[in-house]
Structure 1
Amino acid sequence: MNEVYMGVEHITDLNGYDHMLYLLALVAWASLADAWRVIVLATAFTVGHSVTLLLAGMGWVHPNGMWIEFLIPVTIALTAGWNLRRNAAASWKSRSGMGLTYAMTVFFGLIHGLGFSSFFRMMREEGESILMPLLRFNVGVEVGQLLILVGGLAIASLVRAVGVTPREQQVFVCAVTGTVAVLMALERVPF
């Protein structure tokens, strides 16, 4: 059960706020009314990071930590840019818009999973089976993501209640997350 706690703690750690930034950029357009769509996106992200976390945990993939730490904020900036340039909420009404966003989220989850992998390897005991600890860690990450997203959606709903339009919310959240992500990426350039 320790892995569940570690998963929640890892995703909600304010010192590692890049995961929170990604989630906020991903759902910049959303409010509590969009909870189901947000859960689908969070699950897509979990699917992606679970795959690479498993591959790295089993020693089949050996990511270059410097490149992964650079690529994580790049995924945040790209997600913010993607949502900034279009009406993300409306794209969910079309199958192609939904499918593309879902695929992008899974792909970016693969990159974030490689970032999780070093943390996950440090907390595992030598010789321990990977499957159950990985499952518990992923449950913790998913719970942590849902806590972050519920908080973000509640704030978004309150902001909309005072007259901020969905597009204004989207532009603000994407501008902030995208700017912070670009600055993070510039600090982490591996070459």
Structure 2
Amino acid sequence: MNKLSSFFYSGWHHIVDITAYDHLLFVMTLCAAFTLTQWKQILVIITAFTIGHSGTLVLSALEIIPANSKLIDMLIPSTIMITAIANIVNYEKHGRFSDATIKYSIALIFGLIHGLAFASNFKFMLFSDRIIMPLLLFNLGIEAGQIFIVLLFMTSLWIYTKIVKGSHFKWNLFVSGAGFGIATTILVSAMTSG
């Protein structure tokens, strides 16, 4: 594997790696309020998340913003908790999120925060002063990983709603509630760690 292709792989691995469950949890919680017919909105939201963390990666790689790992470890689970609350509070009767613009904004802004976690890995991999191609490949890897996770997630939703005949409301409530609970555990752990 050459140096440039390793950026794509690292971006992919950063998302699909089970030890990076905070990012997996965020992506799943972010998608929970959307139905199968809203797949275009889901792609837009995932891309908004990628754009958000791309901005942070650039700023961090150029050493414009410092990385505070303790703060990042508290902010990331907070983004999951806020997303879970937004899913439940804004859910309409027909299984749709009431304002997609709010979701896009959440994804973009929270992408900036999640980008801080990506930044330490990305800066470590950089060579010389070339940032454009490594950044593009790293983000394409992240985007491909997110789309893969979303496809698995939406397949599970399809099985639940079409075969099991479960309601989308219950799906959203379960995924958002689980996201909130796990994120709370992560946050408490981050706050109490040395």
User: 1:74 pairs with 78, 90, 115, which one?
Assistant: 78
1:168 is aligned to 170
- Separation (CA, whole Å) in 2 of partners of 1:173 and 1:91: 14
Identity %: 33
Cα displacement string for residues 68-103 of structure 1 (whole angstroms, at most 9, x for unaligned residues): 1110011011101110222165335xxxx1222211
Check if 1:141 corresponds to 2:142: yes
Q: Distance in 2 between matches of 1:148 and 1:30?
A: 15
Per-residue deviation, 1:14: 0.5
Give 1:119's aligned residue: 121
* In 2: Cα distance, 1:32 partner to 1:7 partner: 26
Structure 2, unaligned runs of 5 or more: none
Distance 1:121 1:106 in 2: 21
TM-score relative to the length of structure 1:
0.92
SS at match of 1:91: coil
CA RMSD of aligned residues (A): 1.5
Letter in 2 for 1:132: M
Distance (Å, rounded) in 1 between the aligned partners of 2:100 and 2:32: 15
Which ranges of 4 or more aligned residues in structure 1 deviate by more than 6 Å?
none
Q: For the residues of structure 2 that align with 1:85 and 1:30, how far apart are their CA atoms?
A: 14
Task: Tell me by how many angstroms 1:114 deviates.
Answer: 0.8
The one-letter amino acid of 2:180's match is G
Question: For the residues of structure 2 that align with 1:51 and 1:68, how far apart are their CA atoms?
Answer: 16
Letter in 2 for 1:84: I
> Is the contact made by 2:35 and 2:96 (CA closer than 8 Å) also made in structure 1?
no
CA-to-aligned-CA distance 1:123-171 (integer Å, 9 cap, x gap): 223x241111011000000000000001000110110011110100000
- Structure 1 gap segments, 5+ residues each: none
Which of 180, 183, 189 does residue 181 from structure 1 map onto?
Answer: 183
Candidates 19, 26, 30, aligned match of 2:34: 30
1:6 maps to 2:14: no
What's 1:90 paired with? 96
Aligned to 2:21: 17
- Give the counterpart letter for 2:149 in structure 1: I
* TM, length-normalised to structure 2: 0.91
